[in-house]
Chains A and B, each alone.
Chain A
Amino acid sequence: SQQGEEDPQALSIQEGENATMNCSYKTSINNLQWYRQNSGRGLVHLILIRSNEREKHSGRLRVTLDTSKKSSSLLITASRAADTASYFCAIEDSNYQLIWGAGTKLIIKP
C-alpha cells in the first residue's frame, strides 16, 4: 500500500503563479523526499527534508514538514512551462524503505 498521499491529484495554473502540493503520511519517518517525473519516465530528486527539519529551500522550491500532522508541502514559486510534470513525495520509513504516493500532476499553462 502507498503510505504517502499527495493532494491535489492534479493542478493546473498559469505560468508565473505559485504551485502548492501537499503530502500526508501515516508512519514515522527518517526523511521525506520530493521527486519530479516527466512524461512517465525517470524520476528526478528535488529535495530531501529530514524528520528534525521544518523547512527547506532549493532555488524556487520550498518544502515544509510538520511531523505532528504527518504532512509536508512543496511550493514552487514563479512557475514555468518546464515545471509541467508529476510530483511525488517519498517517505523513508524506519526500515529505510522509500514509500511513495500516487503523485500530483502539475500543468503550467503559458
Chain B
Amino acid sequence: DAGVTQSPTHLIKTRGQQVTLRCSPKSGHDTVSWYQQALGQGPQFIFQYYEEEERQRGNFPDRFSGHQFPNYSSELNVNALLLGDSALYLCASSAGQVHTEAFFGQGTRLTVV
C-alpha cells in the first residue's frame, strides 16, 4: 500500500503564475482534503472533495480550486500566485467525509518568488 502520494515534492513559481498540485489517496479512501501550512504554523483547511465534488471549503479565495477524478485522485490549482502562497501543501485522504483518521502525504513545498 503506497499510502498518500503527492507530486511534485518541491516547486518554485513566479508571482502571477498558476500551479497544479496532485494527490493520490491511500487505497480504499474516497475523500481527499487539502491543507496549506505556512512555516511554523498549523495546517489550514482549504477544501475537501468527495464523490468528485467540493463538499467543504475553508476561508480561501477563489484562486484556489480543485478537482477530484473518478479514481479518487485530486488536484489543487492555484491561480495568480502571490508571495504569500508560499507554503507546504498537504493532502489528506480518509474513508468517507467524517474525519476519523486522516492519512497525510509528505506534501508539496511551493515557493513563490
Contact = CB atoms under 8 A, between A and B. Distances in A.
Interface string B18-62: 000000000000000101010111111100000000001010000
Contacts of A33: 99, 101-102
Interface string A22-47: 00000000110101000011111100
A96 B97 contact: yes
B90 A102 contact: no
B107 A42 contact: yes
A104 to B, nearest CB: 10
A92 B30 CA distance: 19
Nearest to A105: B40
A58 B64 CA distance: 37
Contacts of B90: 42-43
B101 A48 contact: yes
Main secondary structure of the interface of B (DSSP, over half): loop
B40 A98 contact: no
A74 to B, nearest CB: 14
A97 B48 CA distance: 9
B106 interface: yes
Contacts of A90: 42-43
B102 A97 contact: no
Contact of B39 (A35, A40, A101): A40
B13 to A, nearest CB: 19
B100 A102 contact: no
A42 B106 contact: yes
Interface string B72-100: 00000000000000001010100001111
8 contacts: A2-B44, A42-B106, A88-B43, A90-B42, A98-B99, A100-B35, A100-B45, A103-B42
Interface of A: 2, 4, 30-31, 33, 35, 40-45, 48, 88, 90, 92, 95-103
Given A40-B39, A97-B56, 12 more contacts: A40-B37, A41-B107, A42-B106, A90-B42, A92-B99, A96-B97, A98-B45, A98-B102, A99-B45, A100-B35, A102-B41, A103-B41
